Amino acid sequence: MPHSVITGTGSFIPERVIDNSYFLKNEFYTINKEKIQKTNEEIINKFHEVTCIRERRYADDSVSTSDIAYEAAEMALEGIDRESLDCIIVAHNYGNVEPGCGRADMCPSLASRVKYRLGIENPFTVAFDVPFGCPGWLHGIILADYYIKSGDAKKVLVIGAEILSRVIDWHDIDCMIYADGAGAALVEATEEECGILSHVTRSDTKDAVHMIWNGRSYDPNHEGDEIYLKMHGHDIYRYALRHVPETVKMSLDKVGMTLTDVKKVLIHQANEKMDHAILKNLFKLYGVKEIPEHIMPLTIAWLGNTSVATLPTMFDLLQRGKLNNHRLHSGDIAVFASVGAGMNINSLVYKMP
């Protein structure tokens, strides 16, 4: 049976830098539409203390989500015959959203639009989208693995792209979390003992389905009927701390590995303190108190939460030597993990070729 290995990566990081001072003039309200009785300086300082986010990137008004997905794809496909692709998978949650519109455009699919932009004529290059919350790109990688192991594909392009700055409520404190970006990976079949070793997926809908949702503005004076990205942050925090570590352990157990075999843990970038807490709880499952330095790369402080784009962007930066002291070498084991709307969790064990 063939293995699935990532042979190319790419990312699109918007040039427009938005630091926390950008929000000093916002009017913030609670979920009950009551004005928050703190200065914006206090609100922003507390936000930075909790999330460690100091800046994020916003896409230019002239581009769409499918545009930045295409840019990431171009980088990942450098030197590759596009007509040889068997499948293009684009993970996102809102499709293309025009500035000031607030409505999602998903027809045709973003994957079809990317295929068109790439100039691919092959009718058997199948293009489809995956809306799976923040773990969408990782779920696309898992689907690519299934395609390859079944023998139905040899080359699959998986992209995660989102422009969240167009679906946030400027009167909700959580608007400061989200950002824009895109990342891509080319997954190919190989006979070598490397690449994707295992994966585990879970979906908790009974009690957690409404932790992230779309809702009206918190501004009591807002008259439009637009809906915006909303979340119950404290509930998500508790959910992630409990379930992400055990899901990661399950994926390692499937291949008879332990945490000491892992060189890097790549966790979805939603909140730096949450990521550190998840990592701490993961090591607790193995009875380990000393967490190795540099085991967990971080991009949240300067890129914010770009949903499906966070993991592929981080992996691309790491592969290109652009992520501080983080490196992966041949034979190293990495774990990818993500949690998000659904609530969904994915964990994947990967051996570097």
Give the per-residue pLDDT at 303: 97
pLDDT at 99 over 90: no
- pLDDT the model gives residue 226: 85
How confident is the model over 326-344, as a mean pLDDT?
Answer: 95
Report, as an integer, the average pLDDT of 151-155.
95
Place of tokens 């699919």: 109
Query: Residues 310-319: pLDDT tens digits?
Result: 999 999 999 9
Q: Which CATH class is domain 3-193?
A: alpha beta
* CATH architecture, domain defined by 196-351: 3-Layer(aba) Sandwich (3.40)
126 bridge partner residues: 87
Spatial distance between the Cα atoms of 336 and 345, rounded to a whole number of angstroms? 11
pTM for the model stands at 0.95
- Cα atoms found within 13 Å of the Cα of residue 155, Cβ hemisphere only: 14
3-state SS track over the chain? CCEEEEEEEEEECCCEEEEHHHHCCCCCECCCCCECCCCHHHHHHHHHHHHCCCEEEECCCCCCHHHHHHHHHHHHCCCCCHHHCCEEEEECCCEECCCCCCCCECCCCHHHHHHHHCCCCCCCCEEEEECCCCCHHHHHHHHHHHHHHHCCCCEEEEEEEEEHHHCCCCCCHHHHCECEEEEEEEEEEECCCCEEEEEEEEECCCCCCCCEEEECCCCCCCCCCCCEEEECHHHHHHHHHHHHHHHHHHHHHCCCCCHHHCCEEEECCCCHHHHHHHHHHHHHHCCCCCCCCCCCCCCHHHHCECHHHHHHHHHHHHHCCCCCCCCCCCCCEEEEEEEECCCEEEEEEEECC
Q: What percent of the chain is modeled with pLDDT above 70?
A: 100
Give the pLDDT confidence score for residue 324 in this predicted structure: 84
38 contacts: CB under 8 Å, gap ≥ 6: 46
Whose tokens are 């508790």? That residue is: 238
Q: Where are the domains of the chain?
A: 3-193, 196-351
Most confident of 29-38, 120-129, 321-330: 120-129
pLDDT in tens, 260-282: 999 999 999 999 999 999 999 99
- With both helix axes pointing from N to C terminus, report the angle between 310-319 and 136-150 in degrees, rounded to the nearest 10: 70
Phi, psi of 278 (to 5 degrees): -60, -45
> How do residues 242-257 score in pLDDT, each as one tens digit?
999 999 999 999 999 9
CA distance 317 to 184: 11
pLDDT reading at 104 higher than 90: no
Mean pLDDT of the chain: 95
pLDDT of residue 329: 94
Closest alpha carbon to 332 in 292, 305, 302, 301? 292
pLDDT at 52: 95
| Separation of alpha carbons 144 and 6, rounded Å | 10
User: Are domains 3-193 and 196-351 of this chain identical in fold?
Assistant: yes
> Amino acid identity of 136?
G
Q: In the predicted model, what is the mean pLDDT of residues 28-37?
A: 94
**Looking at residue 248, what is its pLDDT?**
98
Question: How much is the pLDDT for 101?
Answer: 74
Q: Is 67 left (phi over 0), alpha (psi -120 to 50) or beta?
A: alpha
